Each structure stands twice: as C-alpha cells, then as structure tokens.
Amino acid sequence: MSATNTAPKQEIVKIAAIQMASGPNVAANLSEAKRLIETAVNQGARLVVLPEYFAIMGLNDTDKVAVREQEGSGPIQDFLSSTAKKNKIWIIGGTVPLVSQFPNKVRNSCLVYDDRGKQVARYDKIHLFGLDLGNEHYHEENTIEAGDAVKVVETPFGSVGLSVCYDLRFPELYRAMGKVNIIVVPAAFTDTTGKAHWETLIRARAIENLSYVIAPAQGGYHVSGRETHGNTMIVDPWGVILDRLPRGSGVVIATMNPKYQESLRKSLPALKHRTIKSVG
C-alpha cells in the first residue's frame, strides 16, 4: 500500500471521468485531454480521472514502448503535473507508459497528482489482458511488464483504490485494498467484452465494496482499427449509475457524498461481516 498524509474531509464534492478515443499522436491526445479536463473543471470537478492509454493508442502495440518515459520526467507526466497545478485539482492519469526492466516493454502505470502538481501515487497494472476470440487477439504481456503491488492513496476525497481495465475481473484485488471510499478503473475495454461485461462488473465492484467507482474509458473507433466500448460511468456505493457517456469524447461528472456512503455502510455493514480473509 502507499498513501499520502492528507486527511480525508467529509464534504460533498464533484468528481469527473474523461472519455476519449485516443490515437497514435501523443501531442494531439494531450491537447484533447486538456480540453476535456478544462470542461470538467468548469463544471466544478475537483478530482478528474483520465482513461487507460489516454496519451497514446498506437497503430501497433509496440508504439507505446517508443514513447515510454522515466518516472518523474517526460511530456506526458509534465502535462499531468502542470494541468493539476494550474487548475488546482487532483488528476489521475489513467495510464502512462513508463520504463520497465525490459527494453521491449513498458509498465502500464496509473499516476496520481495532487492539486499542487505533485505525483503522490503510482500503480502498475497487475493483470494483463489476453483475448483470442474470433478475429480479436490481444496479448498485453508481449509489451507490458506486470506490476505486483496493490495501491491505495489518501486524498481530500477519502481513500482511493487504484486499478486498471482488466483488473476489474479480479475482485480479490479490490478486497485487498481494504475499506476505500473510491475505486478508479481507467479502461480501454474492447467493444466485444464491454458489451457483455463492463457495466455489470463496474456496478458489482461498487456494490461489493460500498464504494464510489469512477470508470473512465476509451470509447470509439481508433486509427489502428480497434473499437473500444466507451460507456464511461460513475457509480455510487449502492450500484446506481450517476452519470454515463456511451460513445465519443466527453466528460462524465457526478457528486460524491461521503455522508451518504457512510450511512449505507452503517445500514448494511457487509464490509464488517467478512469472515473469509484469504484462501491458500
């Protein structure tokens, strides 16, 4: 686990998720992200979460390796830091391709920046997507080195558990986070698997953990020919979808009410009723 020393505040805040249809040009993607973040800020958002691969979805899986950055430096990280500081908001950069120990791979890293522009947390995607279904073939292990650590960060909005896309299918990851206020799931779900499972899994993670879930997604057709599912959404701890965007670039925004969340946890103390802690 990793955390800052920021104490959570019990106040109602606006939280936002960004949906994009990113392409192979990093600068163009960052320009679009900037526009969407400013839209969210103008609507009062204090926490903004970007989707997986927001900075690049290349023509080939190896394209992200070519633009990988050392932690703490590079145009993608500079953008996240300066944008958070300028707008005085917290930003979670869905994923950023960071250097790994292998020259042909990246760490698919979710980075958290506070309202001063300081990076305060990093989560490296643990579960790597693999699919062979009809004409669709995805093997993330060929270009990504998996992470191995659960990450939770304390923020002014409560504790935030970090996860990425395919992690969503592994509920034990979220149990390992403990009692978190918010779960983030930046994603680039394929349209095929998204139609079948995305909403169900997002709502299940919210209900199981009595947590708000912020799920920013890639949504649309990409230059590579890939189609992503979209349906960026924010879900409350009761599993209610507060806002969603089916397709295309845009902003999903909702109000987070910590007192409402706490009342649900008191009324249905499922997190206290857990009896199976681990197996094996």
Residue 43 pLDDT greater than 60, yes or no: yes
- 45 within 8 A of 16, measured Cβ to Cβ: yes
How do residues 186-220 score in pLDDT, each as one tens digit? 999 999 999 999 999 999 999 999 999 999 999 99
Give a three-class secondary structure readout of 167-218.
HHHCHHHHHHCCCCCEEECCECCEHHHHHHHHHHHHHHHHHHHCCEEEECEE
Catalytic positions, please? 52, 125, 165
Choose the weakest-confidence range: 25-34, 49-58, 131-140, 209-218: 131-140
State the pLDDT at residue 278: 60
State the pLDDT at residue 209: 97
Write down the pTM of the prediction. 0.94
Position 279 confidence tier, pLDDT thresholds 50, 70, 90: low
Task: Tell me which CATH code domain 13-267 carries.
Answer: 3.60.110.10
Domain ranges of the chain: 13-267
C-beta atoms surrounding 178 within 10 Å: 13
Of 206, 215, 220, nearest to 186 by C-alpha is 215
Residue 2 pLDDT greater than 50, yes or no: no
State the pLDDT at residue 9: 54
How do residues 83-110 score in pLDDT, each as one tens digit? 999 999 999 999 999 999 999 999 999 9
Residue 125 pLDDT greater than 70, yes or no: yes
C-beta atoms surrounding 161 within 10 Å: 26
Residue 7 pLDDT greater than 70, yes or no: no
Position 10 confidence tier, pLDDT thresholds 50, 70, 90: low
Instruction: Give the sheet arrangement for strand 158-162, strand by strand.
Output: 152-155, 158-162, 182-184, 212-215, 232-235, 241-245
Instruction: Tell me which DSSP letter residue 102 carries.
Output: S
189 alpha carbon, distance to own chain's centre? 12
